[in-house]
Amino acid sequence: MAEQEKGEKIETDGVQRDRQNLDTGEHRLNLAAVYVSDAQHNRNIIFDTTPQAVRLYLLYNHWLLRVCVYVFIMMDLALALFEEPALIPLPLWTTSVIELLCLMVFSARLVHYAKVIPRRVFIRDPKNICIIVTVMLCVVDLGVYGVLRLCGRSAVRWSRVLRPLLLINITEGRQLRRAFRSIRNALPQILVVFFLFIFSVLMFSLMALKLLGKRNLKTIDGAPYFTNYLEIVFDLYVLVTTANSPDIMMPAYNYSSYFAIFFILYIVINTYTFMSVFLAVVYNNYKKYLKEEVRQLVRAKRQKLCCAFSLLQEEGGAGEEPTVNQARWNQLVRLIQPDISSAHRELLWSVCDPQSTGHVGKVPFVQLADLLNIQVLTIKSHKHPLDRWIPAIYQSTFSKLIHSMVQHRVFVYVYDVIILINAVFIGLDEDNPAVSMAEWVFLTLYILEILLKLYTFEPRTFFAKHQFWNWFDTIIIVSALLATIINSALKSSGGYTSRQILDIVLILRVLRLIRVVDTIPRFRAIINTLIKIGAPMLTFGQLILVVYYIFAMVGMELFKGKVQYFGGDSVDHAHQFCGNILLNGSAFVRNNYCKNNFNDVVSSFILLLELTVVNQWHVLTGGFTAVTHVSARIFFILFHIVVVIIIINIFVAFILEAFFIEYMVEKSELQTALEKKIEELNLCVEQNHVDNNLVDAMETQDNDLGPSEGVKAKPTIVFKISSTRYRTMDGLLQRMFETEMDLSADDIEEEETENRTFSNPAFSSS
């Protein structure tokens, strides 16, 4: 995890080693395909180039094995649900066996990895060492814990804190590692601001002590107000989270209005200014280091493609540049993407070799990984199945009327109005028979809409891979239909209504309404940006998971069982103080927060989320401080610093950056080159055609659903570039820094002295 992953970089002598291992041309081709594929997916693994090692490496990268590793990691993490303190208690031997199984899988995976890469690279890589140490510690802890439990002693499962480290350090956790590295690199600057901020809090606290400590003021609970320095520091720290505003101010403000000035100054300086400065520092550093990482990534990608090129190249005549011929290129592409259509492959070739020389040089060859990453939708303009089966009816006047009706924009408006009326009906009481009848009417109308659309548009186009809203609609409506039928059946059969199914029906009904957003272009643009950010946000999900998991494990050890929840209906006396007499009469109990506890991992996660939102922070943490010790505050303040000051700010920074990029850059240059080629070859879909509109629905901002003006003769195959390549974190990041990358292209050049051919006109202008 830690080191700059220097071990992962492709070495310059890689090509020479490759040549020694080249027995057959086939191996050479395989190796090249692996290089290109690695470049395509931004994998930075140095593997042995012997045929066996390459085969093992391909196996290592097989999607099934990778999914398998993630499944076992999730299983390992999910063990927290079943271990003491458990949500669903399982006997100790069960969880131990599962954990051992998981650890064995990780070890096996590591052994596999060790076989693939050279030994000296393996042992120098901190990732691997980290995994080995973690696995060993887990085994030791499990053994010790088991023995102690057998002896009837109490023991702490401290190794559970280490589990998320596996998620970070597996080969696939590249993006997560990068995020952690960015944070670590930003830490020095964050710390400087943090110390300044703490200094400011300490100064204000001292002033508060001097000004207010001697006035015998009381808080609303009757406690002395601002008399203990450490308490003041804590209270004012909480004020930065805004959680105790304006309560903390009220005693002083009630005493004299002038004291409001003190708190106003404090809020302006610490809550607003310093928190904004934290955002600025986190944002700036995050951007800076990420940019550096992406630059290294691009450099590694080019080097790998150069290796692939030199494996496949044919020496030209004297003074001529080496090239790769079309046949080898085709073999290569087929090896990398077996499912690529030949039309698509030829399109890519014609981009690489615009003069149709039959050969491709180093410069255009290097684009290959990027070209393959651009998702091109190959749309075959099928005839509608009904048109093939019953052309007479499908082409009849009435049928054509339906077509033009469905394609008319009024059709969309009518359904928007239906949705709005439906919204009103949903708001009404569903026990009313008229309302439940209306529900059937609406359901019928929605099903009718989908059927009409399926009748008009070609089904395979309608359900194309990226037709988000079509899929969304259909799934929601079909599920609603099924759930409603089951619900009615249950009701009519035994008068019994399943609350769960009814809930699902209700949720689906409300979700149906979301579709109205799609018909407003300005809304769709924002939603599309949010959807694009969605996938990269998964890395943040993992980041949050790791941090939450660690804090939850520690929190459970510290606070398990200290606060109890006895259910709402309990008339037990203990109910009045969450099962802990120390909490009697506290704000924690008064606010009915007993269920916010660390008694199992789910409760812990929800509590940590509440602490992230920060409101009532002092009441929530106050409860746990009361049942343990004042020093428990350290745990909660640490959580606040890590999650609220650092991670949430990275989240905000990421959204800011993504939106700025959306506002600035529209499409990358390479994509434009491909589009130009598609246009040149006259294979593009026409702009005003309805089929295209359907495809566009996800893509363009202003989807003009105008009536189609006479169907023109269209080619039998059309291409459409999908913008979904940014769905991957790496893609979005590379796009983020694309403009700035161009500026720094020169210094990349300098370091790549051996690849002088790279001053690459096709790359920068094409």
Residue 187 is a binding residue for its own copies (CB under 8 A):
no
Residue 69 is a binding residue for its own copies (CB under 8 A):
no
Complex with its own copies: residue 395 or 739, whichever CB lies closer: 739
Residue 383 is a binding residue for its own copies (CB under 8 A):
no
Q: How far is the CB of 548 from its own copies (least distance, A)?
A: 12
Residue 616 is a binding residue for its own copies (CB under 8 A):
yes
Query: Looking at 78, 104, 108, 530, which residue binds its own copies (CB under 8 A)?
Result: 530
Complex with its own copies: residue 204 or 365, whichever CB lies closer: 204
Q: Which of 437, 434, 539, 455 is nearest to 175 (CA)?
A: 539
Distances (CA, A) of 135 to 102, 191, 473, 546: 10, 32, 46, 17
Q: How far is the CB of 96 from its own copies (least distance, A)?
A: 27
Query: Looking at 223, 420, 517, 634, which residue binds its own copies (CB under 8 A)?
Result: 517
Phi, psi at residue 721, to the nearest 5°? -80, 125
Gyration radius of the chain's alpha carbons = 31
Complex with its own copies: residue 440 or 523, whichever CB lies closer: 523
Query: Looking at 406, 412, 513, 642, which residue binds its own copies (CB under 8 A)?
Result: 513
First and final CA of the chain: distance in angstroms? 39
Residue 100 is a binding residue for its own copies (CB under 8 A):
no
Residue 283 is a binding residue for its own copies (CB under 8 A):
yes
Residue 510 is a binding residue for its own copies (CB under 8 A):
yes
Gap between the Cα atoms of 697 and 465, Å rounded: 12
Query: Looking at 183, 290, 620, 705, which residue binds its own copies (CB under 8 A)?
Result: 620
Query: Looking at 3, 172, 231, 247, which residue binds its own copies (CB under 8 A)?
Result: 247
Residue 603 is a binding residue for its own copies (CB under 8 A):
yes
Neighbours of 535 (CB within 10 A): 15
Complex with its own copies: residue 230 or 711, whichever CB lies closer: 230
Q: How far is the CB of 470 from its own copies (least distance, A)?
A: 20
Complex with its own copies: residue 138 or 212, whichever CB lies closer: 212
Query: Looking at 30, 40, 49, 244, which residue binds its own copies (CB under 8 A)?
Result: 244
Distances (CA, A) of 76 to 96, 141, 437, 600: 10, 15, 49, 16
Which two tokens mark 713?
């003769």
Residue 342 is a binding residue for its own copies (CB under 8 A):
no
Residue 211 is a binding residue for its own copies (CB under 8 A):
yes
Residue 81 is a binding residue for its own copies (CB under 8 A):
no
Q: Which of 426, 428, 501, 442 is nearest to 477 (CA)?
A: 442
Gap between the Cα atoms of 171 and 521, Å rounded: 41
Query: Looking at 584, 615, 672, 764, which residue binds its own copies (CB under 8 A)?
Result: 615
Residue 280 is a binding residue for its own copies (CB under 8 A):
yes
Gap between the Cα atoms of 368 and 329, Å rounded: 10
Gap between the Cα atoms of 76 and 80, Å rounded: 8
Phi, psi at residue 123, to the nearest 5°? -75, -15
User: Which residues, 419 to 478, sit near its own copies by CB under 8 A?
Assistant: 423, 426-427, 430
Q: Which of 275, 290, 183, 274 is nearest to 661 (CA)?
A: 290
Q: How far is the CB of 118 from its own copies (least distance, A)?
A: 41
DSSP string, 545-593: HHHHHHHHHHHHHHHTTTS----TT---GGGGGTT-GGGTT-HHHHTT-
Q: How far is the CB of 578 from its own copies (least distance, A)?
A: 12
Which residue matches tokens 């992230």?
Answer: 612
Find out whether 81 and 87 touch, Cβ atoms under 8 Å: yes
Complex with its own copies: residue 262 or 471, whichever CB lies closer: 262
User: Which residues, 632 to 671, sit near its own copies by CB under 8 A?
Assistant: 648, 651-652, 655-656, 659-660, 663
Write the single-letter amino acid at 681.
L
Query: In this chain, which stretch among 134-142, 239-247, 333-341, 756-764 interacts with its own copies, using CB under 8 A?
Result: 239-247
By CB under 8 A, the count of residues binding its own copies is 81
Q: How far is the CB of 206 from its own copies (least distance, A)?
A: 5
Residue 192 is a binding residue for its own copies (CB under 8 A):
yes
Complex with its own copies: residue 347 or 653, whichever CB lies closer: 653
Helix pair angle (499-513, 409-427), 10° resolution: 140
Query: Looking at 158, 255, 472, 758, which residue binds its own copies (CB under 8 A)?
Result: 255
Complex with its own copies: residue 616 or 755, whichever CB lies closer: 616
Q: How far is the CB of 707 from its own copies (least distance, A)?
A: 27
Complex with its own copies: residue 363 or 423, whichever CB lies closer: 423
Gap between the Cα atoms of 143 and 62, Å rounded: 33
Q: Which of 375, 306, 312 is nearest to 727 (CA)?
A: 375
Residue 531 is a binding residue for its own copies (CB under 8 A):
no
- What is the enclosing helix (H) or strand (E) of 304? helix 275-312
Write the single-letter amino acid at 274.
F
Find out whether 10 and 307 touch, Cβ atoms under 8 Å: yes
Query: Vertex 559, ends 606 and 562: CA angle to 5°?
Result: 100
Which two tokens mark 738?
């694309």
Residue 260 is a binding residue for its own copies (CB under 8 A):
yes
Q: How far is the CB of 595 from its own copies (least distance, A)?
A: 5
Q: How far is the CB of 656 from its own copies (least distance, A)?
A: 5
Query: In this chain, which stretch among 329-337, 580-588, 614-622, 736-744 interacts with its own copies, using CB under 8 A?
Result: 614-622
Residue 565 is a binding residue for its own copies (CB under 8 A):
yes
* DSSP letter (8 states) at residue 641: I
Q: How far is the CB of 196 from its own copies (least distance, A)?
A: 5
Q: Which of 239, 163, 256, 147 is nearest to 201 (CA)?
A: 239
Query: Looking at 21, 50, 107, 271, which residue binds its own copies (CB under 8 A)?
Result: 271
Query: Looking at 140, 526, 581, 630, which residue binds its own copies (CB under 8 A)?
Result: 526
* DSSP letter (8 states) at residue 377: E
